[in-house]
Structure 1
Amino acid sequence: MTPDLRPVRVDTGSSDEEGRLVFVADRLVAVLVQLSDQHGEMAGHWFLEHGFGGVGGPKRPTFASLQAAEHWICHRLGEE
């Protein structure tokens, strides 16, 4: 199943506000935030701000693209 990514602004307390709520089968599984220019080379990458269920855990990776984040989320949920 393809994740449904919905744009959202996230109050992170920094300039990293552009975000996506990630739903799979109408369940919220993750919140992604795009890194701002303050992150230098990582600017524009997507950070797993929070994961739920099978996407949760201590590891909070960063992805070069939304497509890479979707792939990782699907893999974690066994949806590939």
Structure 2
Amino acid sequence: MSLHLQPVRVATRSEDGDGQLVFADGFLVAVLVRLSDQHGADVGLWFLEAGFGLTSVARAPLFLDLDAAQDWIEGHLSSKRGSA
């Protein structure tokens, strides 16, 4: 599996806006948003704003950086595909 990230501005209800579209093998699988200072101690962390298909989860963890987010997405997609 190959992940590709594309920077994007995301319109959210808060001040967040810096985001990344995440593609796996050419398919959009997630939208990540960097949390703003409005989120207190979580400022700068990455949040799974939207997951599609196999990355659609009720509660995703916060990620310290994009590498951690990509690791989670890859692991999540692999484990779900392996059980399908």
Question: Normalization by structure 2: what TM-score?
Answer: 0.88
1:1-80 counterparts in 2 under 5 A? 1-78=1-78
Report how many aligned residue pairs link the two structures. Answer: 79
**Cα separation, 1, equivalents of 2:60 and 2:77:** 15
Q: Which has the larger radius of gyration?
A: 2
Whose relative contact order is higher, 1 or 2, with alpha carbons under 8 Å and at least 6 apart?
1
Runs of 4+ in 1 over 2 A off after TM superposition: none
Contact 2:14–2:38 under 8 Å retained in 1: no
What TM-score do you get using the length of structure 1 for normalisation?
0.92
Structure showing the higher helix proportion among its residues: 2
Asked if the contact 1:19/1:33 (under 8 Å) is kept, the reply is yes
Task: Report the residue type matching 1:39 in the other structure.
Answer: H
CA deviations on 1:9-62 (whole Å, 9 max, x unpaired) are 000021110000000111000000000011121110000001011110211321
Give the unaligned 5+ runs of structure 2: 80-84
